[in-house]
Structure 1
């Protein structure tokens, strides 16, 4: 099973329980160590399994959607490896910015210029905020992220 530290798990649950649609900052990043699949996740449903975020299986079609934590944890990618959590990941923007950049580049990217271009394209006042990025519990501003299913 992918280890999600208690603090990140609690933040994912809190985001998932939010009464109002919010453009949360990604809390956790999972990736395939032998391929291109990447997930930037912002929320965890009360069922403890259903995650919401930006999902990219490496086929050039990243999208916002839902994924099962159990299914991700069950993936075997070869060489005895599994999907991993990026322990060094710190979100620098809300999810809508990563989604816009992924749409423009056909893949999830953390490239500074791609993310700045996405901010400009969205016309948001979102900006890189290192202090906020290091505190995943910071509240995020509302945006155009599609509504979650109930």
Structure 2
């Protein structure tokens, strides 16, 4: 899967580790509020995602902004299939580092109408 190369082995490993840790407590009071592991974006649009966990098959969870911010799941296979002008694909912001939990990014994004990261 080419999107794994785009994310990088260390990012994939952390996303999958967060998934394994979250799975037994999902939907309970013990559910974790991880900081996002990475920021990905479509360079020719405002499409942006902050991902905090991912199943081994590539179903990732995080905050998405495709015109309005919302929490949810994204298929990495599906987003990799999107090809923009000049063959551009989804990219990872290699310089971005999370400074707070995902819920704080979501609250801020709802207040401003877009992800500010």
TM-score (norm 2): 0.86
Question: What is the Cα deviation at residue 8 of structure 1?
Answer: 1.1
Larger radius of gyration: 1
Partner Cα distance (2:90, 2:74) in 1: 13
**Residue 8 of structure 1 aligns with which residue?**
11
Question: What is the Cα deviation at residue 89 of structure 1?
Answer: 1.1
**Residue 74 of structure 2 aligns with which residue?**
67
Judging by fraction of residues, say which structure has more helix: 2
What is the aligned counterpart of 2:44 among 24, 34, 49?
A: 34
Partner Cα distance (2:89, 2:109) in 1: 23
Computed over aligned residues only, the root mean square deviation of the Cα atoms, in angstroms, reads 1.1
Question: What is the Cα deviation at residue 39 of structure 1?
Answer: 0.4
Where has structure 1 moved over 6 Å in runs of 4 or more? none
Q: How many residues are treated as equivalent by the alignment?
A: 107
TM-score (norm 1): 0.68
**Residue 63 of structure 2 aligns with which residue?**
54
